[in-house]
Amino acid sequence: MAKLRLGLALTGSYCCFGKLAEVLPALCREFDVLPIFSENAQRDSRFGQAADWMALFAEASGREPVTTIAGAEPLGPKGLMDVLAIVPCTGNTLAKLSRGVTDTAVTMAAKGHLRNGKPVVIGVSTNDGLGASAENIGRLLVRKNIYFVPFGQDDPAAKPTSLACDYDRIIPAVAAAYEGRQLQPILV
């Protein structure tokens, strides 16, 4: 049976690229992965050089990452993904998804994909998940065709409003979303 085609969209939570890279081989075994990088995810940071991260994802998936709105625009109309996973998803991208703002490669991919009634899976990674982003997470939790990788507080003592998804649950969350189900429990 053909593998599910998974758009794997990274946004600018640079600290989590390494966590995603750890599960990338398993994701690529399970799915036909198409990497997508937001414009901000394509910047160097103290967590590494953008070119190195992009090369890693390109090599593991066998596909050149999508990096622009123009590059992401055909993904929906041409039906090139079965599921789109946005992991790690910043507070910034959560806000845009919640309010219908489409000004990055990742939000463009989501818009085109949702247009076709297909599932988007969000893996949150933001220090204000229980702060300013909480409202956006709430809006997305009740939105049709939007699912979440189970998430929780990653450091309640030092970062009391921070939320992070469980990278080990990306695969089952994507499989469930493809079947129209939210993987439970959402809160870990």
Ligand X SMILES: Cc1cc2nc3c(=O)[nH]c(=O)nc-3n(C[C@H](O)[C@H](O)[C@H](O)COP(=O)(O)O)c2cc1C
- Applying CB under 6 A, what is the total number of residues that bind ligand X? 17
For residue 185, whether the previous peptide bond is cis, meaning omega lies within 30 degrees of 0, is yes
Using CB atoms, what's the residue nearest to ligand X? 12
Q: Which of 17, 90, 136, 149 binds ligand X (CB under 6 A)?
A: 90
- C-alpha–C-alpha distance, residues 91 and 88, integer Å: 10
Q: Which of 13, 61, 67, 136 binds ligand X (CB under 6 A)?
A: 13
Between residues 67 and 90, which has the closer beta carbon with respect to ligand X? Answer: 90
**What does the per-residue mask of binding to ligand X show for 93-132, with x meaning CB under 6 A?**
x----------x--------------------xx------
Query: Are the C-beta atoms of 163 and 153 separated by less than 8 Å?
Result: yes
- C-alpha–C-alpha distance, residues 169 and 115, integer Å: 26
| Residue 161, C-beta contacts closer than 8 angstroms, at least 6 positions apart | 127, 128, 129, 130, 131, 134
161 binds ligand X, rule: CB under 6 A: no
Interface stretch with ligand X, choices 40-48, 141-149, 167-175, 178-186 (CB under 6 A): 40-48
Query: Are the C-beta atoms of 73 and 24 separated by less than 8 Å?
Result: no
Chain residues that interact with ligand X, rule: CB under 6 A: 11-15, 38, 40-41, 45-46, 90-93, 104, 125-126
